[in-house]
């Protein structure tokens, strides 16, 4: 990892640092991304914390730490970092994650307040859709399953050609399942499975589950020539 793999926008942020420090922080940020992909959350956290120690006022460093905390389920820490990013950069692009953090902390009212904030109305299309997905989940948490369906109902046809279609259709299927529309839910899980080329969801498994298919671990027959899997020994 040389650090050259980072996005141009992040490289711009690192120009506020000395050349040597910028190169080091860039390498740590690249490692955060690589370790997150490898599901090594502890390793990613160590690199993200180092990046923040070396570049605490660089939004990309704080965002990396926030995202690792979010993936680890540490929603309080993630929310603190995302708020810092918004303060440093003036950008609200992390608002969907902030809303989800409030949801994870068991504060649905505060999450809905963020959903209706002026900043939310000025986000791009993808972020707006993410907010709808999170909002649908919040309404399910609050025991409002029909409202959860309605939150996404107007989007399911509009996103057909978008890269985030699978996520919308999966969330919609989940909401439909909560109101007892299992046949419709199966159809939308199936659509999500076809659209999900990167395996972001477990839509295929959800279809199998609704079809009554269960995959169970089976113990393979033991090799007659082995003993407890350790092989035979000569006397």
* Per-residue model confidence as pLDDT tens for the chain (235 residues): 555 578 889 999 999 999 999 999 999 999 999 999 999 999 999 999 999 999 999 999 999 999 999 999 999 999 999 999 999 999 999 999 999 999 999 999 999 999 989 999 889 998 999 999 999 999 999 999 999 999 999 999 999 999 999 999 999 999 999 999 999 999 999 999 999 988 899 999 999 999 997 555 445 455 555 444 444 444 3
State the distance between the two ends of the chain, measured CA to CA, in whole angstroms.
Answer: 52
pLDDT value of residue 195: 96
Q: At what angle do helices 75-89 and 59-71 cross, to 10 degrees?
A: 160
Compute the distance between CA of residue 59 and CA of residue 132 in angstroms, rounded to an integer: 25
Neighbours of 169 (CB within 10 A): 27
pLDDT value of residue 232: 40
Compute the distance between CA of residue 102 and CA of residue 164 in angstroms, rounded to an integer: 23
Compute the distance between CA of residue 24 and CA of residue 3 in angstroms, rounded to an integer: 7
CB 77 within 8 A of CB 52: no
pTM score of the predicted model: 0.78
pLDDT value of residue 23: 94
The CA-CA-CA angle for residues 171, 75, 149, to 5°, reads 20
pLDDT value of residue 7: 83
Alpha helix stretches (DSSP H) within the chain: 8-13, 19-37, 41-54, 59-71, 75-89, 95-104, 108-115, 118-121, 125-141, 145-153, 165-178, 182-195, 203-210
Tell me the two tokens of residue 178. Answer: 């909560």
How much is the CA Rg of the chain, to the nearest whole Å? 22
């Amino acid at each position: 990892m040389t650090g050259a793999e980072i996005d141009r926008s992040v490289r711009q942020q690192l120009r506020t640092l000395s050349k040597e420090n910028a190169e080091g922080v860039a390498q740590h940020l690249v490692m955060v991304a690589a370790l997150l992909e490898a599901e090594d959350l502890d390793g990613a956290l160590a690199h993200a914390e180092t990046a923040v120690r070396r570049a605490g006022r660089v939004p990309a460093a704080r965002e990396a730490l926030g995202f690792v905390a979010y993936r680890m389920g540490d929603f309080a820490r993630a929310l603190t970092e995302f708020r810092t990013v918004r303060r440093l950069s003036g950008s609200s692009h992390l608002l969907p994650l902030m809303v989800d953090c409030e949801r994870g902390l068991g504060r649905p009212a505060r999450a809905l307040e963020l959903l209706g904030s002026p900043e939310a109305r000025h986000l791009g299309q993808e972020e707006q859709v993410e907010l709808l997905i999170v909002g649908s989940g919040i309404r399910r948490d609050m025991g409002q399953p029909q409202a959860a369906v309605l939150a996404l109902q107007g989007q399911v046809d509009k996103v057909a050609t978008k890269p985030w279609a699978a996520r919308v259709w999966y969330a919609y299927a989940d909401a439909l399942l909560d109101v007892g529309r299992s046949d419709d839910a199966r159809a939308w899980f199936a659509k999500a499975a076809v659209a999900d080329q990167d395996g972001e969801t477990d839509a295929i498994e959800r279809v199998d589950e609704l079809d009554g298919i269960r995959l169970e671990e089976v113990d393979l027959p033991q090799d007659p020539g082995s003993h407890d899997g350790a092989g035979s020994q000569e006397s």
